Structure formats: C-alpha cells, structure tokens
Structure 1
Amino acid sequence: MSPRNVTVLDYGSGNIRSAVRALEHAGANVTLSAKPDDVLNADGLVVPGVGAFAAVMQGLKDVDAIRMIGRRVAGGRPVLGICVGLQVLFDEGVEHGVRTPGMAEWPGVVERLAADVVPHMGWNTVAPPEGSALFAGIEDQRFYFVHSYGVQKWDFDVTQPAMRPPQVTWAEHGGPFIAAVENGALSATQFHPEKSGDAGAALLNNWLKTLG
C-alpha cells in the first residue's frame, strides 16, 4: 500500500507534534495544517485535542474547522479524533457548571468522570466490539489515557433501519466511559494512541488501512 496523505489539524492543540511523529512512524505522509485544501483533500484528517472542551471548540471555530470537518463527514472522508477531539464530536460538554455545545455528530454529554481519583491518568484496558477495525489484533492491549471528563452514557437512536449503528469501545474508571467510537468514516479515541507505544502505533496503522 502506498503511503497515505494525512493532515493533522493545526489549531493550537498541545499534542499536535506527537501526533505528527506517531503518524509518520506509522508510514503516513503527514501535513500539519488548517488550510482548507489540506484539510478537505487529505486521505485522512486527524483532530487532536488537549485541555478544556470549550477551549478546543473555540480553537476549531477560529480556523473554520467545524465546517470543514462536517464537509468531510458528509462526504464519507475519514476523520480521526483524539482525546478532546473525541469529546467535541458529542452533543455538549459540561465543565465547572458551564455547558458548551459540541459538534453533535453523536448523542451524549461529556461530564466529569465518576471516580475517586481524577484525572484518569495512565494505562488502561478497553473492551472493543467484535469486528472493530481500529482494534483488530490489539483487542487485549492497554492504552494511555489522560482525562478528567468523558461520555458515560450512550443512547444512539437508529431512526433508519438501514443505518448501521456506530461501534463503541468502553473502558472503566470509577464506572464505564466511552474509550472509542467507529462510525463509518468518522472515528475517535478518548485515549492517546500517539502515547500508547506499540499498541497505539498498531491502532494508527489500522486506521491508515481504512483510508483505502
């Protein structure tokens, strides 16, 4: 397979350089950019995210990324969100009593984890569904998490019988929370594959294989 052209969205998020290096190590041709041509025409787009939900949403708005991500999703062009890049794909985030609208690609609210120790920081196992493309061959591996908030309930209403429901991967920290979602061309992980060693590299490789 020839190397895939991947754009890592450049909007000021803190883990951008590590994501670039990890994708290059996985064999992709990587461009760090927020230019429309680069975002819309790449084989795959990666949306990293670190920090507060509201700040990430504002950063995306500042570079017109919400519109561009929406165009890619509507056209079936692959997108991978990482950490807060997963969270903003849900309906809204609630931090310190403040509600911030998300991109509403998936139903759900990002809320503080129901755990005695927060943030959830370190390695954890996940429970992917059967047939997962992202976790093929690495279903029993551990991945690196750093987060205080997550989506702890999933209520996806398939209104059209022909629609294939998303595949949801769960993890546990004080209770279950969503660790990853695969929904056609749109995928995201709550953990950091770029910080997850060999398992993370394998997951990025799996994602690159889905780019065609």
Structure 2
Amino acid sequence: MIAIIDYGMGNLHSVRSAVERLGYEAIITSDERELIEADGAILPGVGAFGDAMEHLRESKLIDATKAFAASGKPLLGICLGMQMLFDRSEEHGTHEGLGLLPGEVVRFQGDYKVPHMGWNKLSFCQQSPLFRGLEEGHVYFVHSYHVKPERENDLLAVTDYYQSVTAIVGRGNVYGMQFHPEKSGAVGMQLLDNFLSMCASKKVV
C-alpha cells in the first residue's frame, strides 16, 4: 500500500490515479497509523510553503511524516512537497520545513519569467535507482521557488532555467521531485514507477 499524505494541499487524486495506473494500491490518508503502516509514502503539494507546513501541523502529520522517513521506508516529495523536505523556505517570510534534508528554498531572482513553467530537460548528476531504464528527458515544472541543497551528494538531477535548478534530490530513503511526475509523460511515469518499485508494496495488476 502506498500512502498519499493528505494535509489539505496537493494534487491528491491525480497522484493516486498515477500510482494506480502503474499497478499499485494507493490510499489518500491523514491518519498517522495508516501512514506508518504503508510500504511507501508520497508527500504532494501545491500553494505556499508556510501555508502547507501549517496545514501539515494542524493535521498532526509533521511527527508522523518524520517518523515514516526515520523508518527507512521510501518517501517521495513532489513539487512543494519536495521543498517541504528541507530546512526552511523564504517564501513570504521565513518558514521552517521538515528538516529531512539540509538546505533552503529561495525565489528565482533575475530578469526572466517567474514562475518557471513548462517542459525542461533533466540532467542527471549521479546514479540513482530512480533512473533505472531512463535516459535524460523532459518533465513538466511549475514553480516560483527552488531548492538549494547544502550537500552536493543530495542532488540527483538538475534542469536549466537561466541557472542550474534542482530537479530531483535524494538521500537514503528520502526523495524529492520539483516537477510533477504524474503530468510529465513517459519520463515522469517511469520515474514514479522506479520509486514505487523501491517500496515493499506489490503490484495488484
């Protein structure tokens, strides 16, 4: 079973549909017990960082998400969910994140269009089981803020948008994708499938 963490901000149903299309059973949940018992978990997110962390806190899911990560089972943050894995964000003030990965979230600065929106090509920085069977391809981004990881080894893939932009991160069992894999065609679905294959969950079809 794959748990999709429901704290009131995220493309919950599109993520669940993508997981189910890949043949896995998924549940949308805000229940701590269901989360802890899951084989893998996905933290989606859309909107503002501070609001998302407040919703996660009000849902009493901060400790549960951290406990799930500490269990060693695979956890994937998507878009804002990836940003929430880090220490802090400067979006509309300074807000504390989950602190599962060291680094901060900053706004794009420059004379170019923000938000960064559209299809951009991934460049892999190092080997990862997420990239099994994949060549570097294009995925779909929508974001005004980007992650600056403190540790270079946590950076798995970047894209180019007037600068090198963090696209995929990972350390141990904790992963993040700045783009929406469920909206990124064959490349995104293969990345999601590779993540799901790391979980103990068995395909149901």
The answer to whether the 8 A contact 2:149-2:155 is kept is no
Equivalent of 1:155 in 150, 157, 164: 150
Tell me which residue corresponds to 1:211: 199
In the TM superposition, residue 194 of structure 1 has moved relative to its aligned partner by: 0.9
Tell me which residue corresponds to 2:12: 16
Which stretch of the first structure deviates more once superposed, 182-191 or 171-180? 171-180
The answer to whether the 8 A contact 1:47-1:82 is kept is yes
Task: Say if 2:79 is the partner of 1:91.
Answer: no
Tell me which residue corresponds to 1:160: none
**1:109–1:21 Cα change, 3 Å:** same
User: How far apart are the structure 2 equivalents of 1:44 and 1:6?
Assistant: 5
Which stretch of the first structure deviates more once superposed, 25-34 or 136-145? 136-145
Query: Aligned letter for 2:177?
Result: T
Q: Give matches, 1:10-159, under 5 Å.
A: 10-96=6-92, 98-115=93-110, 116-151=112-147, 153-156=148-151
Which stretch of the first structure deviates more once superposed, 165-174 or 59-68? 165-174
The answer to whether the 8 A contact 1:166-1:184 is kept is no
Structure 1: runs of 5+ lacking an equivalent: 158-164
Return the TM-score normalized by structure 2.
0.92
Q: Percentage identity across aligned positions?
A: 38
Tell me which residue corresponds to 2:180: 192
In the TM superposition, residue 156 of structure 1 has moved relative to its aligned partner by: 2.0
Runs of 4+ residues deviating >4 angstroms = none
Write out per-residue CA displacement over residues 177-204 of structure 1, whole angstroms, 9 at most, x where no aligned residue.
2111121111110000011111111111
Q: How many positions carry a matched residue from both structures? A: 199
The answer to whether the 8 A contact 1:127-1:139 is kept is no
